[in-house]
Amino acid sequence: MTEPVVETEKLSKFYGDFKAVDGISFQIGQGECFGLLGPNGAGKTTTIRMLYGYTPLSSGSLKIFGRDIRQDLRAVKQHIGVCQQEDNLDPDLSVLQNLLVFARYFDIPRALARQRAEELLRFFALEGRSGANIRELSGGMKRRLVLARALLNEPKLLILDEPTTGLDPQSRHQVWERLEELKTRGLTILLTSHYLEEAARLCDRLIIIDHGRIIVEGAPAELVARYVGREVIEVVAPTEEMRDFLKRQRADFEDLGHRLVVYNQNGDELFIHLAKDFCRRGCTLRQATLEDVFLRLTGRELRE
Ligand SMILES: Nc1ncnc2c1ncn2[C@@H]1O[C@H](COP(=O)(O)OP(=O)(O)O)[C@@H](O)[C@H]1O
Ligand SMILES: [Mg+2]
């Protein structure tokens, strides 16, 4: 195996006594799209801020491109592209100017910066907007511009903090397609998200963190198979007989009161039986998803 692009060992961040990130270890390989998932307040943003040197680590070790971030931050940062959780564009500059000014931080020569900026605007379907003011852009356009900006220095590692939060479905799908294209070009991507559909589609491997700790790690399909199974049966307005039946069957299910979520590990028999004898008010059989894994492992109570 080639050297990992990112390697953390017991990475931690404390704010006073509060452990925002509490000893997490993971590796990201070359060309991998790696997901960092977790509920609000889990420590996703804090983790990736340490990775791009925005927040110093409290303890543990962190290597990027094989270099210790505490010794080689400047050199490492040259090859990282970052898309922060908030769109921090300069509202006083045009679309193109936002890119050109940013290119100066990386000492990219003017002519080259302009050429790359124009290419990236095309890549993100913003070429008609290069003279526009930031205030005239939709949420989706701003996100795409932030992504374009993150690629100006031709990074070897792209770090994205909730790249599609708040976007409409069209914009979200467009971002996903662009990211998939970047993946096929071999770019290593680290992505945080709380959209499980996004993570399942884009990530080769992911970790779910909660309260600053890793709960699970694996490929999306593998996690679904391991923690949920093949299918899920959703039951609306369950009866007591149905609950008794499921208990007798030793079925694996969650009781939400007005609804049951049955994790179906093997075959259709259980569903057929339920549908025939118990499901008068509605039973749905569907494929298990990463969202089921997430809710199972992090619970259903509201966060922050
Ligand atoms: N500068 C800070 N000072 C104190 N607490 C912080 C600071 N930044 C983040 N936190 C806390 O650390 C926890 C993790 O935050 P964050 O990494 O932003 O979570 P996520 O991105 O997963 O939603 C939260 O409880 C948050 O309130
Ligand atoms: Mg965050």
Atom 4 of ligand 1, nearest CA residue: 15
**Can you tell me the mean pLDDT for 61-84?**
96
| Domain C-terminal end among 193, 224, 255 | 224
Query: In terms of domains, do 115 and 240 share one?
Result: no
Give the count of domains, the chain: 2
> For residue 37, what pLDDT band results from cuts at 50, 70 and 90?
very high
Query: In terms of domains, do 62 and 198 share one?
Result: yes
Note the Cα 96 to chain centre separation in Å. 28
**Which ligand ends up closest to the CA of 44?**
1
For residue 23, the domain's CATH number is: 3.40.50.300
Query: In terms of domains, do 262 and 169 share one?
Result: no
Atom 2 of ligand 1, nearest CA residue: 15
Query: In terms of domains, do 209 and 236 share one?
Result: no
For residue 256, the domain's CATH number is: 3.30.70
Domain membership flag for residue 295: no
User: How far is ligand 2, taken at its centre, from the CA of residue 40, in Å?
Assistant: 7
Query: In terms of domains, do 143 and 241 share one?
Result: no
**Can you tell me the mean pLDDT for 285-299?**
94
Sign of CA dihedral 31, 37, 40, 44: negative
On the CB side of 22, how many CA atoms lie within 13 Å of its CA? 14
Q: Among 13, 15, 162, which is best to mutate for testing ligand 1, by the most ligand atoms less than 8 A from CB?
A: 15
Domain that holds residue 263: 229-288
Over residues 76-117, the pLDDT tens digits come to: 999 999 999 988 999 999 999 999 999 999 999 999 999 999
Domain membership flag for residue 47: yes
Query: In terms of domains, do 83 and 162 share one?
Result: yes
- Lining ligand 1 with CB less than 6 A are 15, 20, 38, 40-46
Sheet architecture: strand order including 59-64:
18-28, 6-15, 59-64, 67-68
Please say whether the beta carbons of 98 and 89 come within 8 A. Answer: yes
b/e per residue, 221-237, with b = 16+ CB within 10 A? eebbeebbbebbbebee
Query: In terms of domains, do 252 and 154 share one?
Result: no
Query: In terms of domains, do 131 and 241 share one?
Result: no
Per-residue pLDDT, 1: 61
Atom 17 of ligand 1, nearest CA residue: 43
Please say whether the beta carbons of 36 and 195 come within 8 A. Answer: no
Domain membership flag for residue 297: no
Query: In terms of domains, do 211 and 236 share one?
Result: no
**Which ligand ends up closest to the CA of 49?**
1
Do you know the residue count of the chain? 304
Query: In terms of domains, do 213 and 279 share one?
Result: no
15 CA: nearest ligand 1 atom: 4
